[in-house]
Every structure is written in structure tokens, then in C-alpha cells.
Amino acid sequence: MTRPPTAAQRRVIDAADPVTGRLLGTESQLTALVKRGLAFRHPRPPHDHFLTPEGHRVRQGITQVPEPDGSEEAPASTGVFTARVGGEEAAADAGPARLREVRSAWQGLQELRRMTNPGGAVDRPCGWERTHLVRAAALALEAAGHGPAGREGPGYRVRETPQPEAVAVHEPDGEALRACAATLEGAGWQVSEHREPRGGTRYLLASPRRT
């Protein structure tokens, strides 16, 4: 389920710096926005708060706001933007509106990298991506034009793994799997190809590159 930000939270979002997404507000307002995935706290002093890609989209009036539930894979039917990880019923919907949403989210993510990575580097993942591995990898794939899998059929699927900083990417088509690897490498991820113990199906392990 979704609900809009409070009036006070909306004022904080609307007043964000239009370029950097830097936020000003009370500690409680900023903490609430962080919990809802609309803002993040910069790890280095002075620990300013900035809009996440979702926060930028809310500021632009594109999406509704998700309730915080700790889930990495939000349902695609709620009207909330989330990168498609594969397996959603609506994954086949790749119309112009969806393409605009994905493009906007990817641009917001690039701005996060520029603002938070040392030296403003945009060639490797930022802190937000390292705490949202599945969504970050899926966004990189979807923004590059790869098709997510539906409930059935071909397409990529991004999933968590037992490893602390790695996701698994599954794609039944070998050529498409290699294309996914190239996209993630270009987006600043370290990628290696593996085979499942049972059946020998190929899949990718991807981790955010640090340097």
C-alpha cells in the first residue's frame, strides 16, 4: 500500500536543491524520509541528507511513495517505481511511460554517484547502491534496455545471494546473459560467470566495484 508524504515532508522534498538533491529539515523529517527510501544520509561529515532516485521522482511528481517494509522486491502493481528485478507480472510493460521513468531513475542515480563518490566518480556504484544491491543492478540492466522476465518466459532475473555484496543474475539465453554482464561491467560492477551445481545452468555473480 502507499500513502503520500506528510505536508511537512513534502515541503522538505520540494525545497531540495534541484541539482544535487540536498535536503534541509528537522532531524525527524529527514529520518522519516530515509526510512521511506526517499533520502539518504551522506556517510562523511557534515552528514548532509540527499534525495535518492525515488526521492527525485517524488519531487518531480512521477510516483507515489512506498511504505517502508524492508522488502527488496516491491510489487509492480502498486504504482510505486522500482526497478524490475524479473518475475513481476507487469515486467512485459515497456511502454513510453515506463521508459521515461527508468531513464529518470537512472539519471538520478548518476547524480547520486557524482555527489557521494570520492572525486565525483560516476563510473562505479555509490553507497546507496551497495545497500540496495538487487534494485541497483536491476536498474542498470533495465536502463540499458534489457528485458526483465515476466512470471514465465525469457528475460533477466536479479536475486540476492548469501554473499554480502553480490547479486545473482539469471538469463536463460546465453547471448543475452553475456550482454547483461557487459552492461553491469560498464556500470561499474565486477562480474563473473558461473554454473549452477545442478543442471549446469549459467548465471552471473555481480558485485559493486570499489576502485
Q: How much of the chain exceeds pLDDT 90, in percent?
A: 36
- What's the pLDDT at 146? 95
Averaged pLDDT for residues 192-209: 91
pLDDT in tens, 16-48: 887 677 899 989 899 999 888 888 887 777 788
From the list 118, 205, 187, the residue with the least C-alpha distance to 146 is 187
From the list 70, 76, 80, 85, the residue with the least C-alpha distance to 35 is 70
C-alpha cell recorded at residue 19: 541539482
- What are the C-alpha distances in Å from 163 to residues 139, 159, 172? 20, 11, 22
- What's the pLDDT at 73? 39
C-alpha cell recorded at residue 72: 527488496
Instruction: Check: pTM over 0.85? Answer yes or no.
Output: no
Q: What is the DSSP track for 58-72?
A: HHTT----BPP---S
Q: How many CA atoms lie within 13 A of 53 on its CB side?
A: 26
Exposure b/e, 158-172, CB count within 10 A at least 16 = b = bbeeeeeebbbbbbe
- What's the pLDDT at 68? 41
CA distance 88 to 78: 12
pLDDT in tens, 156-194: 999 999 888 999 999 999 999 999 999 999 999 999 999
Averaged pLDDT for residues 78-107: 76
The single-letter code of the amino acid at 143 is A
- What's the pLDDT at 10? 87
